[in-house]
Amino acid sequence: MKLSIALKVMYNQSKEKLKINISSQSYMNNVTWITKNKAQLEQILKIAGEFNIMNNIQTNYDKFEMITNKKLDKDIVEVNFRSSKRMVKPLTSKESVRILGVWINLDLKTNYVFNQCKDIIKRYNKTISFKQITDLQMKYIYNHVIIPRVDYKAQLLV
């Protein structure tokens, strides 16, 4: 019995409290929350904020984008982010936002993606205009580079 007490005392004496902060760096490009109302959004933001604190994650609140189909009295909405309030300007129904690689807007217009496709072709034409290439090379570039890029962009419409 005396031996076990002695070991316990030795164990307690050698026990040290170490506090080590190990942080990792990660890049989370997009997070999308879809809610029915502002209160539900703020609840999700509260939970996400607590998660971010526990995991030592910083959020760039300046990059937040909001779309809403509700008619607003003001151009700017006050949203609670944890302990602070931030003013967020919702995008208009004509502005497009990218969610998981798909460009959408509330008016269901495809102008934004259509203009992106036109820009792909214009940039190519500008780049290639002073190059000395054959018609077969140009055909190859169009068929294997330009058209697939435009096709990919065009399929990502909602």
Closest to 48 (Cα-Cα) out of 76, 79, 70, 6: 79
34 and 58 within one domain = yes
Structural domain contains residue 16? no
Number of domains present in the structure of the chain: 2
Query: Residue 59: which residues within 8 A CB-CB, separation 6 or more?
Result: 48, 49, 52
- Tell me the pLDDT tens digit for each residue of 20-46: 655 445 556 667 888 888 888 888 888
Structural domain contains residue 14? no
85 and 118 within one domain = no
Structural domain contains residue 2? no
106 and 84 within one domain = no
151 and 101 within one domain = yes
Q: Identify whether the C-beta of residue 105 lies closer than 8 Å to the C-beta of residue 114.
A: no
- Tell me the pLDDT tens digit for each residue of 63-108: 888 888 877 777 888 888 777 788 888 888 888 887 777 788 888 8
Q: What is the DSSP string of 9-26?
A: HHHHHH------------
Q: Is residue 15's pLDDT more than 80?
A: no
Q: Is residue 53's pLDDT more than 80?
A: yes
Final residue before a domain boundary, out of 90, 119, 138: 90
- Tell me the pLDDT tens digit for each residue of 130-147: 999 999 999 999 999 999
Q: Which helix (H) or strand (E) holds 126?
A: helix 111-128
Final residue before a domain boundary, out of 90, 108, 135: 90
Final residue before a domain boundary, out of 90, 110, 129: 90
**Per-chain mean pLDDT for the chain:** 79
Structural domain contains residue 8? no
Structural domain contains residue 20? no
Which range marks the domain in which residue 62 is found? Answer: 30-90
